[in-house]
Structure 1
Amino acid sequence: DIALQGMLNAPPDVGAVEVKYYNANNSTNVYVNAFAANEPQSTKAILNKVETYNYPYNKIVLILNCRSDRIDRTRQFCEDFITDVEFDTLICTGKSTQMVTDVMKGLPEKKYLNFEGKDIKEVERALYNESQNALMFCVGNIHGPGKQ
C-alpha cells in the first residue's frame, strides 16, 4: 500500500506527455509537451491522438528542439515527421538545425522560424505571437531550450 501511494503521488517524469490550456492574444491555446517521445512514430501517434480529442484550435504550431549530439534524431524527424504531418508553423530551437532548414525550403507554404543560437526570450516572443487559437505541439528533445 505504501509503495502504491508513493507511485500515485510521484511527480510525472520530466518530458512526460502533458496537455495544458493557456490564454494569449485573446484566445485559448492548447500546449502539448511531447518531448519525451523522441522519435517520429511515437510522436505522430501522440499528435494523432491529440487531434481526436477535438481541442479548440485553428492552427498547429510545431516546436522542434534539436541537439548537436542527436543529429540522427533530427534526421529522423526531418524524414519521417515534418513531411508526414499537417501543421501551419514550425518553430525550431536548439543546435544543428540545418537539416530542418533544408527540409523547410521544400515546404514554402509553411511558416518557419529558426531560433538556433538565439536567446530564449526571442523564442518566447515567437511562441506568444503564434498563440492565436493554436495547438502548440512540442517535439524532439527536452534538453536545452526544450527544457526551458
Structure 2
Amino acid sequence: MKFNWGHGLTLGMIVFIVYIMSMVIQAIRTDHDLETEDYYAKELLFQQTIDKNKNYLDLGKELEYSISGDQLTVLFPQEIIDSASVNLYRPSDKKLDSKFVVSSIQNGSALFDIAEKPGGRYVLEVDWMVNGTGYFVKKNIDL
C-alpha cells in the first residue's frame, strides 16, 4: 500500500487532535490559585493599601528584616507599634503561607518562627499602625 496524501492528512489530523487533547488535560490538571481567596474584595480596598505604602515611603526609613536559623526578625522603622500583621506567603504554594498578628511592639522589632518553612522565594507583607496612621510594605525574600 502506497502512502498518499489522504494518509498524510489523516495522520496530521490525528497528531493535531492528540496534541490538543494533551494540552487540555495539562490545563485541567494545573492549579490556578489566586494570590488570596478573597482577591476581589481586597481589590476594592487596594486604594487604602496604596495610601499606607505612600505613608511608609514618606517615613524615609526602611523596614528591615533578618533571618537567623529558624527565626525571622522584622525591624520596624518606628520604636512603638500599636498593631501589626505580617503575611509571609509563597506564590508557588499557598499551603506554605503564614499570617502573624502582633498586638503591640515596644522595641521596634518582632520575632517570628519559620522553622517549618522550606527554603525558597517568599513575599513578606507587613502592615502596621502607629497613632492611627497605617503603613504597608511588600518585600521579596529568600529563606
Judge same fold: TM > 0.5, yes or no: no
What range describes the TM-score normalised by the shorter chain of this pair? under 0.3
Larger Rg computed on CA atoms: 2
- Which is strand-richer, 1 or 2? 2
